[in-house]
Amino acid sequence: MNYRRLSDNDLADFAANVLDLLGGTKLDAIDPAVRTSLETAIGTLPADLDVQAQAAMATEGERKAVVSIKNTMRQQIIELMSQVRNSLIAGVAPKEQFDFCGFDYREPAIGTYQAQDPTELSGFGYSNGVNVIKFRGNNRNGSVMYEIWRRHGDTVDWAIYANTRRQSYTDTNVSPGMYCEYRVRAVASNSVSNFSNSAVVYGAS
């Protein structure tokens, strides 16, 4: 299922189901600390999106403002659902845990390549509301997936944020002055590297 293409109401229902699963034991392939972090981040967003979707249909005079709020919530939910799916991938979750949520499942590849540690991670915040990180992969092209991990502030838990095969990543979910810390690791079909160094980036204003 492509949750990014769901209607606002269906996306709210989808996210509410994932939130319920995170609070139980069915997604135990996800690290408990990451699960708790995601559960807290999702919070009331599904219910709030449902309310804003209804308001967007019902109001005229304030329609632009309501639609803007609704679209922001929708984007937040989509990004959080991606983090849940990435966490399932990182935890090598069985197919049934993907099915519980409604995520598409891909069989892990079989191979012998050993993932090497990424190095020289650096980041920069741009005034257009994005952070860009770059690193040296140190792996054969196409042989690994790089996991991008992120946290807000140095007292909160790390959570997997995205997957990429490139040796760079552009984070568009950034607010001015936001403290973001990133780290990267490489994942092959049968091995996982150590994490790279971490890099702190403040969202530029």
Distance between CA atoms of 32 and 24, rounded to whole angstroms? 11
> How far is the C-alpha of 182 from the C-alpha of 121, rounded, in Å?
8
Q: According to the model, what pLDDT value does residue 110 have?
A: 66
* Residue 184, CA atoms < 13 Å, CB-side half-sphere: 30
Residue 43 above 80 pLDDT?
A: yes
CATH C-level class of 119-202: mainly beta
- Out of 59-63, 71-75, 135-139, least confident range: 59-63
Q: What stretch of H or E contains 124?
A: strand 119-126
- pLDDT in the model for residue 62: 64
What CA–CA distances, in Å, run from 24 to 17, 83, 127, 128, 146? 11, 17, 40, 39, 28
Q: Is the dihedral of CA 98, 99, 101, 104 positive or negative?
A: positive
What is the pLDDT at residue 93? 87
- At 141-160, the pLDDT tens digits run 888 999 999 998 877 889 89
Q: Answer yes or no: is pLDDT of 66 > 60.
A: yes
pLDDT exceeds 90 at position 118? yes
Question: What is the average pLDDT across 80-103?
Answer: 89
Supply the pLDDT for residue 31. 86
- Which pLDDT belongs to residue 109? 65
Q: Are 147 and 167 in contact (CB under 8 A)?
A: no
Closest CA to 16 of 38, 37, 41, 45: 45
* Rounded Cα distance, 117 and 5, in Å: 35
Indicate whether 189 pLDDT > 90: no
Buried b (16+ CB within 10 A) or exposed e, 139-171: beeebbbbbbbbbeeeeeebbbbbbeeebebeb
| pLDDT above 60 (res 65) | yes
Burial call 10-24: b when 16+ CB within 10 Å, e when fewer:
ebbebbbebbebbee
**Please, which residues bridge with residue 181 across strands?**
151, 200
Average confidence (pLDDT) over 31-39: 89
Domain ranges for the chain, please list them: 3-101, 119-202
